[in-house]
Structure 1
Amino acid sequence: MKLSSRIGLGALLAAVGISTVYAQAVTQPADPSAPKTRAQVRADLAEWLAAGYDPFDWIDYPENAQRASRIVAQHREQQQGNARTAVQ
């Protein structure tokens, strides 16, 4: 087998392998019980802060967190709804 055909075959196998892994990652929903990465935790915190949550506001703590939680949940529902309509 020539070197160029081996390189071509290797590139083809790598492309098929990468596309298979990507397809599985896209089609399988994320496991909510899996531990989050540091980037995911930071993104969640940024989303909560944008929703008005102040971790240093101990006086209004429960209400502040509950309000931000509702806002974040609504925002995520809207994003999922937009993603569903884009796929269809």
Structure 2
Amino acid sequence: MNILSRIAAGALLGTLLVPAVFAQTAAQTYDPSAPKTRAEVKADLAAWRAAGYDPLDWINYPANAQQASKIVAARRAQSAASVQ
């Protein structure tokens, strides 16, 4: 096999696999009651902190956690809508 036929075969294989990968990730939905891995918990904390939540701000605790929760939920809904 020469180099061009290998590239063509790789491109064909890639175009066949990409929709399967996207379909698999789109089928996964966010379930807050499901057990989480350590990496998922760290990613959730990073998302909350990016939304403005400060775990050390105990004075404004309920308000800042609720606001960050709304922002994270909106971002997840927006990213789920853009995947479809």
Tell me which interval the TM-score lies in, with the shorter structure as reference length.
0.5 to 0.7
How far residue 36 of structure 1 moved from its aligned partner, in angstroms, is 0.5
Q: Give the greater-gyration-radius structure (CA).
A: 1
1: CA distance, partners of 2:30 / 2:43: 17
TM-score by length of 1: 0.61
Tell me the amino acid that sits aligned with residue 68 of structure 1.
A
Q: Select the structure with the greater relative contact order (CA < 8 A; seq sep ≥ 6).
A: 2
How far residue 31 of structure 1 moved from its aligned partner, in angstroms, is 7.2
TM-score by length of 2: 0.64
Backbone CA RMSD of aligned residues: 2.3
Regions of 4+ moved over 6 Å: none
Cα separation, partners in 2 of 1:52 and 1:31, compared to 1, 3 Å: closer
Structure 2 unaligned regions, length at least 5: 1-16
Equivalenced residues, count: 63
2: CA distance, partners of 1:50 / 1:62: 17
